[in-house]
Structure 1
Amino acid sequence: MKVTVTDLGPTQKKLLVVVEPRHVEKELDKRYRQLSQQVRLKGFRPGKVPRKILESYYGKTVQGEVSNQLIQETYPDALKQTELKPLMEGDVEDYRFDPDGSFSYSAIVEVRPVFEVKDYLGLEVEVPARRDVTDDRVAEQLSMLRERHAEIRSVEGDRPAQTGDLVVVDVVPELDSQVFDKGVQKNFTLELGQGTMHPDFDARLVGHHGGETVRFALDFPEDAETRDLAGKRVHFEVTLKEIKEKILPDLDDAFARKVGGYESLEALKEALRERLRKADEEASKLHVRRAIMEQLLQSVSFELPPKVVEREVDRRIQHFVHQFSVQGIKLDPSRFQTPEIRAEQRPAAERDIRWRLIVEQIAAQENLELSDEEKETIYAEVARIYRTSPQQVKEEYQESTIVQEMFQQKLEEKVFKLLEDHAVAKEGAFEAPREESEES
């Protein structure tokens, strides 16, 4: 087999593969012998049909089958011979049986860009200032837990709606004297005081009773989330169909046992303190890693293979559609393949690919690899997910997407650890993340 490589650009190569006539003839002869045993032609016994006759009937079919076989057999060897490491499957084109008996084809291959990462050790990063786990933060967590475990009851008697209530409403908005269909809501549940619809919407319902219809107008700001309403005055007709109140549970030992099996309220508080400490550590770690990532993304420049970027755009769109399907929302994938949506997804796709290549390059420069033990741990984890054996994962799924992604994540963890250990830290202001209680 003869292989030649032509440069088409920094990240694109063209392979020309020529398979010698002797090997081509061997495969053709084998296929025609098999075919001779399988076909039934009048005047010929099975296995005795001359090849010339078979060629006249099945020549194109046999050539197609042998072409696929030869490409599948020789393409991996061609990559090894040229030491090319493609980032995705190559595009095979121009395959043919040549007059001299050889078989040739070409393949366009997207390859890793050649670059070096410099000055990645000793990066200066701002570390968030240490944050105390105060009684107020613990109390906030307890408050969220009480809200989550509140009992919801319909309001009895003549009590009007008040802040904190849940109200079931029908909402009919009018814009420019026409019903705004996109904003019509039926049996919509709203917690008064949350400002979900508009900062002043909830206040217009406080003090009204179930069964009442309330009419009012609100002005929406220019930066309103619903663009159709930006800078507009909207007239609302809201019918209060039901008012419900939240009955918060008492904060005692029984509550602690109910929400997490803790022996006492104090034990629950201590568990929340520990969880907040860990959350602060994770937030600080994430902050540092983002700072490291941003510095390297800004300082390292190289060209990306266009087809690899487009494949990542496809993957992101497929993931987006899948997320909706998991929620029971079925969408036509073709609706998300518009030029506008692909253009929106492309910067994030390019960023993800760029970072992955930087991680792999640093790992190569530092000789960082996954140990056999680390790989075995990943095989075991995948085996647990798919309810099979680690050995089967190793033999049959080693090149699968999930295994390769887990390999990549582990390698990224090693690279981050290296960069963090050598980073120069300076303390900065802490931006508190939104805290949510994780207790059930």
Structure 2
Amino acid sequence: MEAKMEKIDVNIVKFEVKVEAEKFDAALTRAYKKNVKNFNVPGFRKGKVPMNVVKKYYGIEVLLEDAVNFAIEGSYSEVLKENNIVPVDYPKIDVVEVGEGKDFVYTAEVTVYPEVELGEYKGLSIEKKTYEVTEEEVSKKLKEMQEKNARVEAKEEGTVENGNIAVIDFKGYVDGEAFQGGEGKDYSLEIGSKTFIDTFEEQLVGAKVNDTVEVNVTFPENYGKEELNGKPAKFEVTIKEIKVKELPELDDEFAKETSEFDTIADLKADVTKKLEEANAERSEREFEEAVITAVAGNAKVEIPEVMVEKEVDKMVQNLQQRLQYQGLTLEQYFQFTGTDEEKMREYMRTNAQTKVKVDLVLEAIEKAENVEATEEEIRAKAVEVAKMYAASEDEKMVDLLMQSQQAALRADVITNKTMKLLLENNK
């Protein structure tokens, strides 16, 4: 086998490969053996037609497609290995010369893994933001606890007020016609929650039980349904019940009933501590992102378009899986958000480009710093993953992960060690 390589673009190479005649004839024989069961020739049992008879009766062309595939399969990976080429996509193959008793010649054009030119990745000064816990944040958390433990009771007299819960029947009309999804019965709507569009909730303020109120609103331009986007609508709303929420007092009794603490002071201190921990985690996370953003920004790399598209494919797939957990489809998501797959993929492209570059830069640093993963580190990662699925360490699950996911575990360990190296070497 002979191969010539030509670089035709930044990340694209083209090979011209010659497979010797005897090797291609062997591929023809393999193609015959694969297909012999399908040949019917008078005077021969099915599956027993000799190769020379097949060629005479059907023509050599009947074997060429499989023979070409076998010849490429046997030579292409060898060409890549010999030239130290890592492809990122399937090659574009063109047959130059083919025939029995002849050298088989083909070209393969392929996008290759890009080279990364690392810039400074040690000794950088990166701003690390810190976040102080404010009294307002603590009060907000305590307010949320109050809301969760609020009592809801029927309002015997009076009218709908802001903060009340109105139990309503409603039916909506656009251009005088009822529209799909515009009707509901016994719907509990908290007034002031901005659950419904426009000024829908405000227009119910002042109504009494059994009142029917005409509510006039306008759908947002980007509502997500073409027939409703930007359209004025009228709703007939009947007030069936008015409820009020009674928030418990923030006192020691509240602390005892809703937490493991005996006093409101201790509960407040715990809320403050948890907010401080969350802020510290946020600070560390943002610092990591700032470091890798700076390091990636100092590196130079031409990213092949196909790598970006593959990353977008992963993002779409991940979104689809998350939606499935919520009982939704991509089509429903497009309706709710007023977008389509093309717009969504275009929106994802910037993040995909950033993700691909970061991965490439981290990989280049791993090689430059000879970052490796020991067997003990890989097993520790397997234990960590196993504990995510079981309450305690499960040796069988750990062993299974070590057998089936060792490459992924190793990659995770190496990436984490590389990030630790970067964090330790940048201020």
Q: What's the TM-score bracket when you normalise by the shorter of the two chains?
A: 0.7 to 0.9
Judge conservation of contact 2:39–2:54 (CA < 8 Å) in 1: no
Judge conservation of contact 1:33–1:47 (CA < 8 Å) in 2: no
Is the alpha carbon distance of 1:111 and 1:166 closer, same or farther for their aligned partners in structure 2, counting shifts above 3 Å? farther
- How far residue 249 of structure 1 moved from its aligned partner, in angstroms, is 5.7
1:213 counterpart residue number? 212
Cα distance in structure 2, aligned partners of 1:210 and 1:60:
84
Gaps of 5+ in 1: 425-440
Is the alpha carbon distance of 1:407 and 1:86 closer, same or farther for their aligned partners in structure 2, counting shifts above 3 Å? farther
Moved more, 166-175 or 71-80: 166-175
Matches within 5 A, 1:187-206: 187=185, 188-197=187-196, 201-206=200-205
- How far residue 87 of structure 1 moved from its aligned partner, in angstroms, is 2.7
- How far residue 10 of structure 1 moved from its aligned partner, in angstroms, is 0.9
1:347 counterpart residue number? 350
1:29 counterpart residue number? 29
Cα distance in structure 2, aligned partners of 1:377 and 1:217:
61
Moved more, 125-134 or 32-41: 32-41
Which amino acid is 2:204 matched to?
L
* Alpha-carbon RMSD: 4.4
Is the alpha carbon distance of 1:392 and 1:104 closer, same or farther for their aligned partners in structure 2, counting shifts above 3 Å? farther
Q: Secondary structure at the match of 1:126?
A: coil
Judge conservation of contact 2:223–2:230 (CA < 8 Å) in 1: no
Judge conservation of contact 2:21–2:102 (CA < 8 Å) in 1: yes
2:309 counterpart residue number? 310
Judge conservation of contact 2:216–2:234 (CA < 8 Å) in 1: yes
Judge conservation of contact 1:93–1:105 (CA < 8 Å) in 2: yes
1:323 counterpart residue number? 322
Matches within 5 A, 1:422-433: 422-424=425-427
Matches within 5 A, 1:109-124: 109-124=110-125
Cα distance in structure 2, aligned partners of 1:340 and 1:37:
50
Is the alpha carbon distance of 1:33 and 1:12 closer, same or farther for their aligned partners in structure 2, counting shifts above 3 Å? closer
Judge conservation of contact 1:98–1:104 (CA < 8 Å) in 2: no
Cα distance in structure 1, aligned partners of 2:318 and 2:97:
38
Which amino acid is 2:19 matched to?
V
TM-score, normalised by the number of residues in structure 2: 0.75
The answer to whether structure 1 residue 416 and structure 2 residue 414 are counterparts is no
After superposition, what is the alpha-carbon deviation per residue over 1:313-357, rounded to whole angstroms, capped at 9, x for unaligned? 333333334433332223459x88765444333223222222222
Matches within 5 A, 1:5-404: 5-33=5-33, 41-44=41-44, 49-55=49-55, 56-57=57-58, 59-60=60-61, 62-94=63-95, 97-98=98-99, 100-132=101-133, 137-153=137-153, 155-170=154-169, 184=182, 186-187=184-185, 188-197=187-196, 201-215=200-214, 226=223, 238-248=237-247, 262=260, 264=262, 271-332=270-331, 339-378=342-381, 403=408
Moved more, 111-120 or 289-298: 289-298
1:430 counterpart residue number? none
Cα distance in structure 1, aligned partners of 2:72 and 2:86:
17
Gaps of 5+ in 2: none
Q: Secondary structure at the match of 2:128?
A: strand
Cα distance in structure 2, aligned partners of 1:124 and 1:309:
30
1:438 counterpart residue number? none
Judge conservation of contact 1:122–1:419 (CA < 8 Å) in 2: no
Identity of aligned residues (%): 26
After superposition, what is the alpha-carbon deviation per residue over 1:76-97, rounded to whole angstroms, capped at 9, x for unaligned? 3322211112233434443863
Judge conservation of contact 2:209–2:242 (CA < 8 Å) in 1: yes
